[in-house]
């Protein structure tokens, strides 16, 4: 499969053609042919948790912008993005973006940091978002704003975007090789993990004092929380058994509950994973990336290096531990769950299905709609098992022109509670709000998954939509992006 051989969504004229296309790919994605507008739209229905209400079914996914200051404060560009999050009309803001709990845990030197000197800046982001949200929807009733807290673990690059400073939970035979880590590269000790738990607690208290409604104890995308969930081979208190691998999460939750008793907690979770992929060198030519293929794993069976992965066939998912984890969340009285999958670093086609690969990616190994359907199906399965949890679903942006039709159907049928918007937010934040207002789709603003917003940070440039958003199109980095693509 290559980008050229994939049928463009933009070439499909209506929902009926889109459904035919889905059938031709033999995948199931629900599609409503007619969009309902006004308060009867499934996307406008409020949803209740214990002691709170979310005013509609639209959620903003966390989207980092690599545009903070060196000391972790937001800049004007960060504020602009948060204003756009507000203008989406979404009543659930899941994190805004990943905010590091410590300097050493930042994923890049421009990532936001939670610290005494950044409190004012973060409060300003929240206020700007609320102001814009009120302007769009008329009121901030039912608006729930969370902050995503993170430690980047293996993907920490706090000081220089070209210099990884990984903090790893266990030796991963494939991912260690990618970072050229020697066999004796030190693991985070249990004492260091405990210190990070304390940093999560302290960051949560600050978020609480700033008025955020909840924090996300991030467990996705290969960052520390997620890596620990897959730490089958890790010795000590934070690895090995399911109990050990979930201790980090449980201790963060207990700590927050004791220090910030009324703060709600959510978890963004990579529900399943697969082995790392790379581009097939046999297929690449003239600097073009080859198709994505899994790294060799036959010598690693049973595979013990991931979460939600079938150990005997690790390109397949296995949701049995995911189910266990969701039961645990329920026991911990956590009802806000945001499901995603895989990692943007080692299997981006799983995590954010796209037509065009980012600079460090590979040509799509499958039609990206298959990736969308995979995440939707896992979410449907888990929602069915845990009807009381409130689920946010991910990876809808590739649906493009048909995103509103699918979002409405998925909520109406109970496949998911809230539809989370990621990349589409960078180009067309109001897409679902517009649909529920009965406004026509603005096709020119639809994200076409060019992946510049992923390529940019890989090069150390601010992340944004270079092809479609004039703010970035006219920026000093736009030319560099163009020439990087030509190379
Ligand atoms: C530029 C960029 C930044 C992102 N930053 C974060 C982040 O800070 N935290 C997170 O959990 N996910 C992050 N994601 C993943 C998105 O939240 C989302 O899961 C993903 O893009 C798939 O959804 P979509 O198809 O709507 O884009 C990011 C994605 C992109 C493209
Ligand atoms: S750069 Fe723009 S069009 Fe491309 S994936 Fe990102 S948001 Fe979508």
Taking the centre of ligand 2 as the mean of its atom positions, its distance from the CA of residue 351, in whole angstroms, is 15
With 90 as the cut, is the pLDDT of residue 3 above it?
no
The protein residue whose alpha carbon is closest to atom 4 in ligand 2 is 450
Q: Which pLDDT band holds residue 256 (cuts at 50, 70, 90)? A: very high
Cis before residue 302, ω within 30 degrees of 0?
yes
Calculate mean pLDDT across residues 291-311. 97
Q: What does the pLDDT look like over 121-164, one tens digit per residue?
A: 999 999 999 999 999 999 999 999 999 999 999 999 999 999 99
Q: Which pLDDT band holds residue 485 (cuts at 50, 70, 90)? A: low
Closest-lying ligand 2 atom to the alpha carbon of residue 426? 7
Closest-lying ligand 1 atom to the alpha carbon of residue 218? 11
Residue of 448, 472, 477 with the most ligand 2 atoms within 8 Å of its CB, for mutation: 448
Distances 127 to 93, 211, 377, 422 between C-alpha atoms, Å: 13, 10, 36, 21
Q: What is the pLDDT of residue 169?
A: 98
Which two tokens mark 102?
Answer: 């410590």
With 90 as the cut, is the pLDDT of residue 283 above it?
no
Closest-lying ligand 1 atom to the alpha carbon of residue 424? 26
d(CA 323, CA 318): 10
d(CA 38, CA 47): 16
Calculate mean pLDDT across residues 305-326. 98
Distances 395 to 95, 102, 149, 225, 348 between C-alpha atoms, Å: 16, 28, 20, 20, 11
Residue of 9, 63, 425 with the most ligand 1 atoms within 8 Å of its CB, for mutation: 63
Q: What does the pLDDT look like over 72-84, one tens digit per residue?
A: 999 999 999 999 9
Residue 214 main-chain phi, psi, to 5 deg: -155, 165
Would strands 52-54 and 58-60 be described as parallel, antiparallel, or unpaired? unpaired
Does residue 84 have its Cβ closer than 6 Å to ligand 2? no
Residue of 349, 468, 478 with the most ligand 2 atoms within 8 Å of its CB, for mutation: 468
Query: Which residue ranges have their beta carbon within 6 Å of ligand 1?
Result: 61-64, 97-98, 148, 220-221, 268, 340, 352, 394-398, 421-424, 453-454, 463
Question: Percent of the chain at pLDDT above 70?
Answer: 99
Is 264:52 a contact under the CB 8 Å cutoff?
Answer: yes
Q: What does the pLDDT look like over 197-227, one tens digit per residue?
A: 999 999 999 999 999 999 999 999 999 999 9
Q: What is the pLDDT of residue 288?
A: 79
The 3-class secondary structure across the chain, one letter per residue, is CCHHHCCCHHHCCCHHHHHHHHHHHCCCCCCCCCCCCHHHCHHHCCEEECCEEECCCEEECCCCCCCCCCCCCCCHHHHHHHHHHHHCCCCEEEEEEEEECCHHHCCCCCCCECCHHHHHHHHHHHHHHHHHHHHHHCCCCCCEEEEEEECCHHHCCCCCCCCCCCCECCCCHHHHHHCCCCCCCCECCHHHHHHHHHHHHHHHHHHHHCCCCEEEECECCCCHHHHHHCCCCCCCCCCCCHHHHCHHHHHHHHHHHHHCCCCEEEEEEECCCCCCEEECHHHCECCECCEEEECCCHHHCCCCCCCCECCCCCCCECCHHHHHHHHHHHHCCCCEEEEECCCCCCCHHHHCCCCCCCCCCCECCCCHHHHHHHHHHHHHHHHHHCCCCEEEECCCHHHHHHHHHHHHHHHHCCCCCEEEECHHHHHCCCHHHHHHCCCCCCHHHCCCCCCHHHHHHHCCCCCCCCCCCHHHHCCCHHHHHHHHHHC
The mean pLDDT value of the chain amounts to 96
Q: Which pLDDT band holds residue 486 (cuts at 50, 70, 90)? A: low
With 70 as the cut, is the pLDDT of residue 24 above it?
yes
Q: Which pLDDT band holds residue 476 (cuts at 50, 70, 90)? A: confident
d(CA 356, CA 359): 9
Q: What is the pLDDT of residue 1?
A: 60
d(CA 301, CA 312): 6
Number of the ligand closest to the Cα of 432: 1
Q: What is the pLDDT of residue 2?
A: 64
Which two tokens mark 390?
Answer: 């409130």
d(CA 434, CA 247): 43
Calculate mean pLDDT across residues 246-252. 98
Which two tokens mark 238?
Answer: 């934070």
Taking the centre of ligand 1 as the mean of its atom positions, its distance from the CA of residue 421, in whole angstroms, is 9
Closest-lying ligand 1 atom to the alpha carbon of residue 395? 25
Does residue 467 have its Cβ closer than 6 Å to ligand 2? yes
Taking the centre of ligand 1 as the mean of its atom positions, its distance from the CA of residue 93, in whole angstroms, is 13
Number of the ligand closest to the Cα of 448: 2
d(CA 419, CA 415): 10
Taking the centre of ligand 2 as the mean of its atom positions, its distance from the CA of residue 310, in whole angstroms, is 32
Instruction: Count Cβ atoms below 10 Å from residue 189 Cβ, excluding itself.
Output: 11
Calculate mean pLDDT across residues 400-429. 98
Calculate mean pLDDT across residues 106-114. 97
With 60 as the cut, is the pLDDT of residue 487 above it?
no
How close are the terminal C-alpha atoms of the chain, in Å?
Answer: 22
Number of the ligand closest to the Cα of 267: 1
Closest-lying ligand 2 atom to the alpha carbon of residue 450? 4
The protein residue whose alpha carbon is closest to atom 2 in ligand 2 is 465
Calculate mean pLDDT across residues 317-342. 98
Q: What is the pLDDT of residue 117?
A: 98
The protein residue whose alpha carbon is closest to atom 5 in ligand 1 is 63
More confident residue, 483 or 46: 46
């Amino acid at each position: 499969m290559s980008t050229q051989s994939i049928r463009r969504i933009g070439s499909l004229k209506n929902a009926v053609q889109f459904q035919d296309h889905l059938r031709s790919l033999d995948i199931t994605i629900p599609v409503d042919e007619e969009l309902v507008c006004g308060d009867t739209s499934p996307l406008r229905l409020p949803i209740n948790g214990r002691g709170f209400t979310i005013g509609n079914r639209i959620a903003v996914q966390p989207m980092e912008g690599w545009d903070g200051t060196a000391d972790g404060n937001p800049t004007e560009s960060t504020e602009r993005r948060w204003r756009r999050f507000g203008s989406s009309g979404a009543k659930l803001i899941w994190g805004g973006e990943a905010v590091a709990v410590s300097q050493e845990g930042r994923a890049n030197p421009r990532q936001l940091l939670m610290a005494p000197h950044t409190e004012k800046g973060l409060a300003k982001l929240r206020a700007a978002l609320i102001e814009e949200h009120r302007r769009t929807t008329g009121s901030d009733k039912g608006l729930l704003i969370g902050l995503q807290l993170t430690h980047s673990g293996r993907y920490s690059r706090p000081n220089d975007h070209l210099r990884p400073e990984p903090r790893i939970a266990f030796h991963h035979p494939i991912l260690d090789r990618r970072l050229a880590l020697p066999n004796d590269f030190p693991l985070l000790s249990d004492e260091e993990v405990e210190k990070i738990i304390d940093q999560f607690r302290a960051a949560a208290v600050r978020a609480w004092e700033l008025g955020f409604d909840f924090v996300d104890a991030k467990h996705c995308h290969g960052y520390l929380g997620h890596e620990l969930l897959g730490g089958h081979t890790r010795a000590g208190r934070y690895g090995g058994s399911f109990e050990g691998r979930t201790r980090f999460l449980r201790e963060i939750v207990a700590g927050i509950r004791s220090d910030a008793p009324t703060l709600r907690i959510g978890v963004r979770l990579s529900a399943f994973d697969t082995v790392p992929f790379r581009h097939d060198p046999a297929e690449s030519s003239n600097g073009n990336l080859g198709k994505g293929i899994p790294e060799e794993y036959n010598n690693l069976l049973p595979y013990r290096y991931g979460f939600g992965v079938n150990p005997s066939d690790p390109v397949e998912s296995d949701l049995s531990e995911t189910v266990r984890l969701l039961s645990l969340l329920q026991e911990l009285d956590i009802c806000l769950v945001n499901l995603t999958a895989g990692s943007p670093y080692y299997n981006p086609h799983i995590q954010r299905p796209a037509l065009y690969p980012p600079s460090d990616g590979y040509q799509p190994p499958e039609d990206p709609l298959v990736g969308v359907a995979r995440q939707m199906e896992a979410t449907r399965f888990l929602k069915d098992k845990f009807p009381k949890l409130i689920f946010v679903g991910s990876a809808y942006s590739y649906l493009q022109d048909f995103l509103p039709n699918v979002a409405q159907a998925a909520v109406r049928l109970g496949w998911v509670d809230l539809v989370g918007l990621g990349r589409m937010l960078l180009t067309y934040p109001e897409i679902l709000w517009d649909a529920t207002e009965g406004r026509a789709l603005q096709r020119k603003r639809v994200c076409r998954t060019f992946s510049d917003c992923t390529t940019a940070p890989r090069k150390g440039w601010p992340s944004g939509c270079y092809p479609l958003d004039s703010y970035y199109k006219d920026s000093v980095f736009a030319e560099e992006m163009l020439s990087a693509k030509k190379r």
